[in-house]
Amino acid sequence: RQERQGKRNKGFVQRRVDLKGRVTEVYSQLLAHLRWSFVALEQIWLNSSLLSETGDIFFLEFAEIRRLIEGIDTDLVEQLAEIIKLRRSQLAEHAQINPVPMLVYGNTPPALPLRIAPLSPDHTLQGIAASPGQAVGRVRVLRNLQSIPEIDKEIILVVPYTDSGWAPLLVRAGGLISEAGGRLSHGAILAREYGIPAIMDVRNATWILQDGQKVRIDGTRGIVEISNDLRPE
């Protein structure tokens, strides 16, 4: 009876995880379509000289974009260049702010070794150091939660992003590499709680790295090492 109950509970949890993954996937698709619409709109405005530089549209608020589309706010059009210039300068200033400390409250992270062996890779990827520690393992690329393979501490998960739906996978993995996110992203926080190394903001990681490829990750310095003798099986 307990075994049947355990199976039912496991099935319920799995269905909830699948649902969470599906909701996240649809939400991400909607955001992607919204971004594509903004990019297409920006190209029209670049061609008409309303905007002067690629990326300008992302320094405007949604209400401002709507007013520009309606074409009834001449004052906004006249001030547009200054508004974008100001917000670009604010972004540059914010980039100089001291980074968030590794520990705000909770358990003190593991002390860094006095000497870290230098990396001598044939190829490296650089990202944001999000959870300290080193790990060597086989890459498992997951672009969504629709088909989840067996995962253990020998697996280094490579994902496009992380949210709460990925938590059951991270607790079983030996390390994490994510294309998006920073030190305060959901995956980075979980990795620190679980005590596994994590590197965020590794661009195109899910396309550069391959299933079965052996890598060493350094979550202290944000480095992924790939060597010729660590090729896919």
Q: Parse the chain into domains and list their residue ranges.
A: 2-94, 123-226
Q: Taking the CB of residue 125, how many other CB atoms lie within 10 A of it?
A: 20
Query: Residues 140-172, buried b or exposed e (16+ Cβ, 10 A)?
Result: bbbeebeeeeebeeebbbbbbbbbebbbbbbee
pLDDT tens digits, 83-127 = 999 999 998 888 787 766 656 777 765 554 444 444 445 588 999
Half-sphere exposure of 220 (CA within 13 A, CB side): 14
Q: What is the pLDDT of residue 5?
A: 64
The CATH class that applies to domain 123-226 reads alpha beta
pLDDT lower than 50: segments of the chain: 112-120, 230-233
Q: Taking the CB of residue 195, how many other CB atoms lie within 10 A of it?
A: 12
The residues carrying an active-site annotation are 186
pTM of the model: 0.52
Rounded CA separation 125/202 (Å): 7
